[in-house]
Structure 1
Amino acid sequence: MYGINDWNVCMSNSCNSILAEVGSIRKAVLISACGISCICTLLDAAPHFNYRESLLGVVIRNIGSPDDVIRKLCCSTIKSLFTNEGKHDGEATVEAVQLIADHVKAHNCQLHPDSVEVFLSLSFDEDLWRAARNDEKHKPQSKKSKKKTLGARQLGNDKKRSRQELLTKTREEVAADYKAVAFTPDVMERRGMQTEALSAVFETYFRILKHTMQSSASRSEANSSLSTGASEPHPLLAPCLKGLGKFSHLIDMDFMGDLINYLKKLASGGSDSENTSKCLTVAERLCCCIVAFKVMKSNLDALNVDLQDFFVQLYNIILEYRPGRDQGEVLAEALKIMLCEDRQHDMQKAAAFVKRLATFSLCSGSAESMAASVTLKHLLLKNVKCRNLLENDAGGGSVSGSVAKYHPHASDPNLSGALASVLWELNLLTQHYHPAVSSMASSISSMNTAHNQVYLSTISPQQAFTDFSLERPESFKPPSDIKKSNNKRKRGSDPSVSAVIEPSADTTSIDEDDVRKKLSAHFMILRDIKENQRLRAELDDTTSSIQLYEEYNQQKKKAKKPKMKKIKSLLTVK
């Protein structure tokens, strides 16, 4: 026994010294990577190890390491702890989440995004709350409450009373013994651990949002006179918004109003946060709008918040979007959640978004144009009066509503007066180089203002963006489900519209050799043009130098003539 105890003590001391050495290593990258790999393997295989806190401390300190290998290894270990809670009954999850929250606080939210993105691997069992409530309902009464109920009922039989007390005592002892040997943790303990983990997660998220607001405001005030573009990015904001969108249904109602106000200040372009919004990218501002709508959708019955500011911000961001610089997937998701979900929009606001999306489709790529066209069609399907924009004459009077003239530069969609305009952009979109965009524009143009028409939207903005992106080789092969939804209208349609749609089938059969020859000839012409420009520039330089030399000779001759006259005059005097 003494030998075993001594061996255990020596083993624990050795492990502790090894952990201290590995944690202190900074310069030896290979040794550090090897040691951290061993620690991650040990923590993943045996999370019930005696020095689990030390192991977690080393892993969390390197979760934002600049070394990609070490960072990915630590992140995968933490994710494994979050997903395999059966090994440690959720205790390691709570410790890891709290350590990550302290780590983010210590580094002032300046870490790699993977440091917070590991929270997305967490899973919270909502059935525990229901089970806890059921246990409270069916919980056996205590002795004091039992005596009160028995005294109220005035049970006169002492033997019956003692027998019932004995039965309840026996049941409590059996339940305690079963709980001691059971492998699954108690429902109340499990609920307590999940509450601690969830509070630490949301504490981290709110700290990131607050830090983003403060840092953006300070930088915008300092650099307002220098530039108006986006400043340095906020590394933890994107994973923070993703986590808020995923766990929005678990947020306490007491903090819901503060969260909406934070998102509104980060996303809106009002007077209170004008400088703040300029310090964020287009994708980050769109993510704020998306999270706000997800929160409202998850807590629709409990919240009564006006989302008009987020619609105003989306209306302005659409024109600020730049293909290649910003993320098109985020824009497509925002269009789907904010405009294409089953939500009734105001007629003036819907018409404003229809006009803005049509304008946006003209100056964007094929994927963005297709996503905007799908959203535009969806808005026209749900708002029958907005189909007056398809007429040739501009609307007015009762059609235009309170604003009788269209203001394209208005920041508020309700004040733009889009009902007084015409969708002339569709005529240009029918000549789009992408056959899917041209066919979609033709199908939208074929809609009329009848109230009894039924149309079916078969594609979402996100699906349209991914299917018709130029990065995919089959992007010029549109699927067959994009058709005209009204057969009667298709029969009597204008032959010019069908002429636009029919050539789309021929675009798929292209001779590669012919294209290669044409491209080579085109670039040869460009090369000759550049060579001609270079030679012309050299000729201009040569001619200018010759002219300068001739002017110099002329000035030199003019300077010699008065000298010669002076010499001749002197000779004649002598």
Structure 2
Amino acid sequence: MARIPAVKRRKLTPPPTDEGESSSSTLEAVPDTNSFFKQASSWNLEQDYENRPRKGKKQDKESTRLPIKTSDGQVQQVEAPEEVAEAQSDLEWLAEDGSDEEEEVEEEVKKPEVPMRQQILEAKEEMARIAMMLNEDPEENGGAFKSLAQFGQSKNTTIKKLALATQLAVYKDVIPGYRIRPLSEQDMEVKVSKEVKKLRAYEQSLVGGYQAYIRELAKLAQSGKSGTSRDGGPSLGSIAIACACTLLTSVPHFNFRGELLKILVNKLAGRKVDNDFVKCRETLETLFQNDEDGTPSLDAVSLITKMMKSKGYRVDESVLNTFLHLRLLKEFSWKASTNHVDKESMDGGKQLKQKRVFRTKKERKLAKERKVVEKEMVQADASVTHEERDRMQSETLKLVFVTYFRILKIRSPNLMGAVLEGLARYAHLINQDFFGDLLEALKDLIGHAESGDDVEAEEGESEDTEDTRNLTREALLCIITAFALLEGQDAAKAQATLSLDLSFFVTHLYRTLYALSLNPDIELSAKSLHLPDPNNPSAPPLAAANNKINIQTTTVLLLRSLSSVLVPALGARAVPPLRIAAFTKQLLTSSLQLPEKSAIAMMGLLGKVTKTHEKKVAALWNTEERRGDGQFDPLGQEVEGSNPFATTIWEGELLKKHFSPAVRDGVKVMEKNILGLR
């Protein structure tokens, strides 16, 4: 049976209604445009765009997926489900992150609920740990200085106090015995070993932390919050001042010494004398006494003089008395004034010319290099030569004299006693060229004391200011200073070059003997305790007065003046017999009115006078050896016009019956010196 072939089927053409579709591509058919526009008119594009997730710059990323055709005939790009998941996860992460931030804020708000005692204990333990690390190996823990400084920025006052004290203890232990100089550009360019780099880094961190610490001390000291705090302990200002004082006495050689001195001097500039003021003053006195270099003393004196000048010398008297603790008062040997120092000539120029030896150019070059090396070795050894120390002390002495002379010129009422006492102490260092001007100023002061004119007539000062001056003490100090100027000079040079007439001071002292013997406070000083004046209850007791350097009683000042007049030093001019006799008679008469201790001291002085000038006063004890004619004038204003040899010493018979055995013994010694001539 034969095989029948299959019927061939033909592909029919689409109907005419399907004009928009292509017969060759059924998958890529184009939608009807009319129905597309009808559907598009009902779309809300703005709402769709608003609901579409946004991912910032990630939207610009190209999609690798093919477009698809939706059921409504729209062709659109389908986003990957992974990216949607990432967007959702990102949004969830952001939401979670926001919640974490809220939790952190809540935790921060809850942090201050930690008890204050616990905070202080934790800070104390941490500071102790850091301090121990620095003490054990400071070079390995150079960054710990900043960690300690951060505790000082705490809002808790107790923690700040602990931080200041801890830093003080640490810096006292780790500060080296030399001054750290800043590194120059040449030093930074030089190649050094690892050990040197490590040491340099540690030194720079030490200096940086120390500078920040001193700035914090200065800020707290100037805040004005000194004294005691609410809890009864010292305030932050007082602790800062105490730390500065301790550093200045412990490490005066280290960097930023000037900043520490400014803290102390600023405190001394105030008028309130409290515990911090006294501590600053005592610290400067200790610095002056222990200064072997001379540079710290020069820096301190320079700041003090500038401060007093800016304040118009309206400062406490004890600030000026710190100059009496300078070591140059005992070590310096040259004469000085306000602008120059008289150095002793050694005729060194002639010796250099005689010993000059010819040297070649190469030898001179080698000698110059050797001097440079020796100078560097001296600086590295931190040794101070005598020439450098003398130079520093001479500059310091000039500043002291400038201050003394300015105060003496303007007659500052609160500082006159301290200035006169200081000039008497520095008399052996004063240049002879200034003797004339200085003695004229002293004469003006004594004339002011004699006339009793009020200061307000000259300077417009109040009566309260005048009460702070003791004109009697100032006059005695002027006499002591005038004679100290002469005694402080070389006797041979003084007799040859000086022609000083001190009779004015002798006459004033003679006139005031009777008035001083009737002074009820002659044995009282600023430290004496006694009841106030019953006639003036509002007046403060003498013990409430400021403690002054011239705390010596009036009796001591009187004895110092009389010793300068009657028993001068060896090599001085001889005392005339008329002066010796007049003073001996007046002193014995005054001794009848003096208190016990003053009478005993006066008998001791007269014992020295009778032993030194036996022949000059022997006639006063014997009526038959009278050498004067006329009558004795005990109230005479002149020493020579009193005619002392026209009288006798009858006061000795009364003093022999004095209630004090010491006074009776003094009279016996005095008469023994006179009777020993016979």
TM-score class normalised by the smaller sequence: 0.5 to 0.7
Is 1:440 aligned with 2:646? no
1:307 is displaced (CA, Å) by 1.3
Q: CA RMSD in A?
A: 3.6
Pair 1:54–1:287, CA change in 2 (3 A): same
SS of corresponding position for 2:512: helix
Report if the CA contact (8 A) 2:305-2:399 is conserved. Answer: yes
Q: Which residue does the alignment assign to 1:238? A: 417
Q: What residue is the counterpart of 1:357 in the other structure?
A: 587
Matched with 2:564 is 337
Aligned counterparts of 2:380 and 2:226: Cα–Cα separation in 1: 48
| One-letter amino acid matched to 2:480 | I
Q: Which of the pair is proportionally richer in helix?
A: 1
- Any residues of structure 2 matched to 1:543-558 within 5 Å, and which? none
Q: Which residue of 2 aligns with 1:99?
A: 303
Per-residue CA deviations over 1:423-448 (Å, capped at 9, x if unaligned) read 22222222211122234334545666
Structure 1 position 207 matched with structure 2 position 406: yes
Describe the SS at the equivalent of 2:222: helix
Of 184, 189, 197 in structure 1, the residue corresponding to residue 388 of structure 2 is: 189
Q: Is the 8 A contact 1:40 1:77 kept in 2?
A: yes
Query: 1:454-497 CA deviation, whole Å, 9 max, x = no partner?
Result: 5xxxxxxxxxxxxxxxxxxxxxxxxxxxxxxxxxx8xxxxxxxx
- Say whether the 8 Å CA contact 2:428–2:485 is kept in structure 1: yes
The equivalent residue for 1:310 is 505
2:325 to 100, 105, 121: 121
Contact 2:592 2:655 in 1 (8 A): yes
Three-state SS of the structure 1 residue aligned to 2:367 is helix
Quote the offset at 1:115 in angstroms.
0.6
Structure-1-length-normalised TM-score: 0.63
Shift of 1:42: 1.5
Matching of residue 267 in structure 1 with residue 446 in structure 2: yes
Amino acid at match of 1:427: E
Deviation at 1:324, TM superposition (A): 4.3
| TM-superposed deviation, 1:417 | 0.9
Distance 2:449 2:556 in 1: 25
In structure 2, stretches of 5+ residues that fail to align are 1-197, 229-233, 335-340, 456-465, 523-552
Deviation at 1:363, TM superposition (A): 0.9
The equivalent residue for 2:290 is 84
**Cα pair 1:40 1:73 within 8 Å, conserved:** yes
> Residue by residue, what CA displacement relative to the aligned partner does 1:242-288 show, whole Å, maximum 9, x if unpaired?
322222222122222222222232235798x6648996432222122
Return the alpha-carbon distance in structure 2 between the equivalents of residues 352 and 439 of structure 1: 23
The answer for the alignment partner of 2:628 in structure 1 is 400
The alpha-carbon deviation at position 27 of structure 1 amounts to 6.1
What is aligned with 2:248? 43
Shift of residue 416, structure 1, vs aligned partner: 0.8
How far has the Cα of 1:122 moved from its partner? Answer: 0.6
CA 1:416–1:164: 2 relative to 1, 3 Å: same
1:8: how far off?
Answer: 5.6
Q: Deviations over 1:128-179 (max 9, x none)?
A: 99999669659978xxx98xx86xxxxxxxxx73454355335434433434
The percent of aligned pairs where both chains have the same amino acid is 27
Asked whether 1:386 is paired with 2:613, we answer: no
SS in 2 for 1:62: helix
Contact 2:284-2:322 at 8 Å conserved across structures: yes
Deviations 1:322-380 (A, max 9, x none): 45413222222222232123563212211110110111011111222223233334434
- Give the whole-Å Cα distance in 1 for the aligned partners of 2:362 and 2:662: 81
Question: What is the CA–CA distance in structure 1 between the aligned matches of 2:596 and 2:220, rounded to whole Å?
Answer: 56
Which one of the candidate residues 264, 270, 292 is aligned to 2:482?
292
Matches of 1:15 and 1:448, distance apart in 2: 69
In the TM superposition, residue 190 of structure 1 has moved relative to its aligned partner by 2.8
User: Taking CA–CA contacts closer than 8 Å with sequence separation of 6 or more, which of the two structures ends up with the larger relative contact order?
Assistant: 1
User: C-alpha separation between the residues in 1 aligned to 2:373 and 2:254?
Assistant: 31
Single out whichever of 109-118 and 375-384 deviates more from structure 2. 375-384
Over 3 Å counting, the alpha-carbon distance change for 1:170 and 1:275 in structure 2 is same
Instruction: List runs of 5+ in structure 1 lacking aligned partners.
Output: 151-159, 216-233, 455-488, 490-574
The SS at the match of 1:61 is helix
Other-structure match for 1:59: 264
How far apart in 2 are the matches of 1:351 and 1:446? Answer: 17
Q: Provide the rounded CA distance (Å) in 1 between the counterparts of 2:344 and 2:620.
A: 57
